[in-house]
Structure 1
Amino acid sequence: MLETHFSGLHGELLGTLYHLLGNMEDAHDALQETFIKCWRNREQLPEIENVRAWIFRIAVNTGRDMRMTAWRRKRQALGDEEQSVPSGEATPGDHAQRSEQMEHLRIAVSKLREEEREVFLLRQNGDLTYEAIAEALSIPLGTVKTRMRMALANLRQHLAPTEKPGKNPL
């Protein structure tokens, strides 16, 4: 039962952990550690109402722990092959533009406050409801909504196109 839940969430968990930790190697390590922690506590499963939120809570806490310990290695940039999904119809120009956009987004997400980043990633990558995020992070629903609103406002501000010097916007 746990294996089924976990395998169904693998990609979403990995994406969330990547954004929390900054590199794919640490994200894979955290994902493995998350599975071990879930496995060790599998006897709790019958009592858990939202297994998805429970797994994401363990993953986020594991990511936090990794960031705060010496286990975390120096951040490494991802290679292009890890940043995007190949498309049969994408041109090299499309690929370069997508890679650049993804890098801008990754940088913008990394500049969010930790609390905002966690809520944003759980909603976007984890596809959790606000209620499930509140449960996963053990915070009130209103706090989740506020953090998400702040995260989106900060991302909009960071990703907004900047005007070229000397050009009149009118």
Structure 2
Amino acid sequence: MTDARPLGADEAAFIAAARAGDAAQFALVTERHRRELQVHCYRMLANYEDAQDMTQETFLRAWHKRESFKGHAALRTWLYRIATNACLDFLDKHNDRTPVPSGLADPASEVLYLQPYPDRVLPEDPQEAVVARETIELAFIVAVQHLPPRQRAVFILRDVLGWPASKAADVLELTVASVTSALQRARVTVRGQLPDRRLDWRSPATHELSDGERGVVKSYIDAHVRNDLDGLTSLLRDDLRFAMLPESGTTSVTAEDAVDGWVAGGLFQRGYDDWRGTTTTLNRMPAAALYRRTPDDPEYRLFAVAVLHIVDGRIAELTGFDATGKPWLDLPPTL
């Protein structure tokens, strides 16, 4: 596996650290790649905690294999190879890491192990392909989970990171023809799983939330604070898609279904009528962290995180994550 490039500073420093057995220098050289490798693992696994674990596993494997690195490939490429194989090994051992039927009449499915990704730990360079908003949004991450693991790796390396077929083939130990065939099948599957309005992941993507998106999140939080069911409903598109994870069978395809479910679950009734919230961003998407105060508790405690996809000023997709009773994504546990 080679790149058409001379030995760079990273590669030279890594080789020197490997030869000297210098763990501190090794960590210094490899650490700068942590954020993008963690995003890569997240796309493979759709779970933030698993991505953290597999990134650490990548560095452990790299340390144990350090003598095998000769600088023929870029250090970044070598680390991606290790990370990809770590994720593939993980998926081989975890049979629960596949989408499950939603239980609805339509063919929808749910990724019950899905977790959001905090923007604060994304790579800092906004030009990096690894942080393009269209390829980190939840809908895209979910769509990719419908691919078989090795096909998933091909798709991410080729269409997300933009690697040439020969480089992806080297990383996965496949032929170029196999990579090309896998990519063609993967593109069909991903397009079939994405919402109609989200079929293009290869065009230049935006990175910042708009003022309109931030305004909708504020209105969403305000509606909870005011117990304003009509106001909350008015923020939702009629064709809303909603899921509350990690519970199964909660996907709805209309705003009415979603609101009826929330009311049936006690929303704005005693115990679910005293709310506060903060605006945040996850997966480069607008999100609301909701805090609830119960009658017997003096504090507002983190209850759920709602990640929103907003189209034309209304919420088109709402993915809720249970955050009860645990510190999560470094959000404050109480307000």
Taking structure 2 as the reference length, the TM-score comes to 0.38
Matched, 1:78 2:115: yes
Judge conservation of contact 2:91–2:149 (CA < 8 Å) in 1: no
Q: Deviations over 1:25-70 (max 9, x none)?
A: 1111111111111111111222643433322221111112222336
Native 8 Å contact 1:53 1:133 kept in 2: no
Aligned equivalents of 1:84, 1:108: Cα separation in 2: 20
Aligned-pair CA distance for 1:83: 5.4
Instruction: Judge conservation of contact 1:23–1:76 (CA < 8 Å) in 2.
Output: yes
Structure 1 runs, 4 residues or longer, greater than 6 Å off? none
* SS at 1:112 equivalent: coil
Aligned-partner Cα distance in 2 for 1:108–1:22: 10
2:185 is the alignment partner of 1:150: yes
Q: Report Cα offsets for 1:76-108 as digits up to 9, x if no partner.
A: 4324xx2557xxxxxxxxxxxx89x92221111
Gaps of 5+ in 1: 86-97, 165-170
Aligned to 1:120: 155
SS in 2 for 1:46: coil
Distance 2:174 2:66 in 1: 23
Relative distance call for 1:113 and 1:161 in structure 2 (3 A) is: same
Which of 10, 22, 31 aligns to 2:55? It is 31
Query: When you count strand as a share of all residues, which structure comes out higher?
Result: 2
* AA partner of residue 193 (structure 2): H
The separation in 1 between residues aligned to 2:91 and 2:161, in whole angstroms, is 20
Letter in 2 for 1:77: L
Match of 1:43 in 2: 67
Q: What is the number of residues matched between the two proteins?
A: 146
Preserved CA contact (<8 Å) 1:119 1:144: yes
CA shift in 2, pair 1:120/1:83, >3 Å = farther
More helix by share: 1
Root-mean-square deviation over aligned CA pairs: 3.1
- 1:117-145 deviations in whole A, cap 9, x for unaligned? 11111234544322111111110011111
Identity in percent: 27
Q: Which consecutive residues of structure 2, in runs of 5 or more, have no partner in the other structure? A: 1-12, 15-25, 98-111, 121-132, 198-238, 240-335
Which is higher, the Rg of structure 1 or of structure 2? 2
